[in-house]
């Protein structure tokens, strides 16, 4: 979240297209009020179509004061002769517009999930948004579906939050309100499941030091009580530090309820890590990818049971996370020992006679020991 505090430069002192919410706690009127509220209407990418004004001074009456307010006065001077889009400034009913946005957002989210195969459970959604775990390229190929889901969920949450306290005033029935709340929660849960299943959860470790500095500097509170030693640790790192059982327990209930969903979630996280690190050591991670495919194939063919699969995938996850095979230290030690024996080796011919410490004088005859 970014905050912009403006004291007395609402007209010309700043231009921030990303500004979406404007909180006004000072009295304004005429052109000052009109231009100030227009600050949040600057577009900033596809995620912003308009801004919000939070009015603490009841300034809206000055804006539309029976045809003589700032809106009418200054919009009457607009040039309508220029080609292109109409410059007309329109006032729309907030609740009517909010209901339209919410209905559209619900429909968009439903359309994204419509191709999911019946019975449309968690596993079927993982298959649609993450692809076939047995095919290495599927996870990357299904990224557009996941991005569309994430974007639609954000739009839905924003549309819902805009009128969440006024759903009845927006003419939703009690049944509609219950249905909407259930749908919003369902898509939030689905987004979390897909993020976990695809290994796309955000690792906040890179920002931890800066966040801690800000908290320690500007926020005063009692000493924290640590609840978990792992926090938002990435799934593979959690396998290494806490074991596979802790990983399964940490998964969302929708994934944890299905052994197949658990298996594919862990496999996708391993696959995602392999893809991220592949350029660092292509040969090694190619071998890890083949091992992953073998483990998945054994589970599919029922050559191993679920518990054996978890054990094997956990061993593989440790190797992928560490960047070296389990037998790498032993091999390195053997290599060092071989180099040491080579260094100490001495030919019998040299050992049979003395070694001349100083070379003979120039022109002196060479003698052999």
pLDDT digits (tens, 9 = 90+) for 264-297: 999 999 999 999 999 999 999 999 999 999 999 9
Question: 30-55 pLDDT, tens per residue?
Answer: 777 777 777 787 777 777 777 788 88
Q: Assign 54 to helix, strand or coil.
A: strand
Alpha-carbon dihedral 334, 339, 340, 341, rounded to 10 degrees:
90
Tracing tokens 């009128």 back to the chain, one arrives at 163
Residue range 120-136: mean pLDDT, rounded: 94
Share of the chain above pLDDT 70, in %: 73
Does residue 64 carry a pLDDT above 80? no
Angle at 302 between CA 251 and CA 305, to 5 degrees: 50
6 band by pLDDT with thresholds 50, 70 and 90:
low
Cis peptide before 149 (omega within 30 of 0): no
Least confident of 82-91, 151-160, 223-232: 223-232
Domain extent listing, the chain: 1-79, 94-198, 233-322
Of the candidates 314, 309, 271, the residue with the CA atom closest to the CA atom of residue 132:
271
pLDDT (tens digit per residue) in 240-264:
888 888 888 888 888 888 999 999 9
* Rounded Cα–Cα distance for residues 350 and 269 (Å): 59
């Amino acid at each position: 979240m970014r905050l912009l505090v403006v004291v007395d430069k609402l007209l010309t002192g700043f231009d921030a297209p990303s500004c979406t919410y404007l909180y006004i706690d000072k009295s304004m009127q005429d052109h000052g009020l009109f231009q100030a509220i227009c600050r949040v209407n600057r577009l900033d990418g596809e995620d912003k179509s308009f801004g919000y004004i939070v009015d603490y001074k009841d300034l809206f009456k000055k804006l539309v004061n029976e045809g003589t307010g700032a809106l009418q006065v200054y919009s009457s001077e607009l040039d309508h002769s220029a080609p292109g889009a109409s410059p007309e400034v329109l006032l729309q009913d907030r609740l009517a517009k909010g209901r339209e946005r919410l209905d559209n957002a619900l429909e968009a989210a439903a359309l994204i999930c419509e191709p999911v195969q019946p019975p449309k459970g968690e596993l079927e959604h993982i298959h649609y948004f993450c692809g076939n775990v047995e095919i290495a390229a599927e996870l990357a190929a299904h990224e557009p579906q996941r991005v569309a889901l994430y974007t639609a969920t954000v739009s839905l949450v924003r549309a819902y939050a805009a009128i969440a306290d006024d759903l009845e005033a927006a003419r939703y029935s009690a049944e509609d309100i219950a249905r909407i709340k259930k749908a919003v929660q369902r898509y939030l849960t689905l987004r979390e499941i897909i993020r976990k299943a695809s290994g796309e959860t955000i690792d906040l470790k890179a920002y931890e030091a800066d966040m801690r500095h800000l908290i320690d500097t500007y926020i005063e509170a009692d000493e924290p009580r640590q609840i978990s030693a792992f926090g938002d640790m990435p799934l593979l790192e959690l396998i290494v530090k806490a074991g596979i059982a802790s990983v399964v327990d940490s998964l969302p209930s929708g994934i944890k309820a299905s052994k197949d969903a658990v298996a594919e979630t862990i496999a996708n996280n391993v696959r995602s890590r392999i893809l991220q690190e592949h350029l660092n050591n292509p040969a090694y991670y190619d071998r890890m990818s083949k091992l992953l495919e073998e483990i998945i194939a054994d589970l599919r063919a029922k050559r191993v049971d679920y518990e054996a699969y978890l054990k094997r995938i956990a061993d593989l996850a440790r190797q992928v996370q560490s960047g070296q095979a389990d037998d790498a230290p032993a091999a390195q030690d053997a290599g060092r020992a071989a180099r040491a024996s080579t260094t100490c080796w001495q030919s019998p011919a040299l050992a049979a006679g003395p070694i001349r410490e100083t070379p003979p004088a120039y022109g002196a005859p060479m003698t052999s020991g």
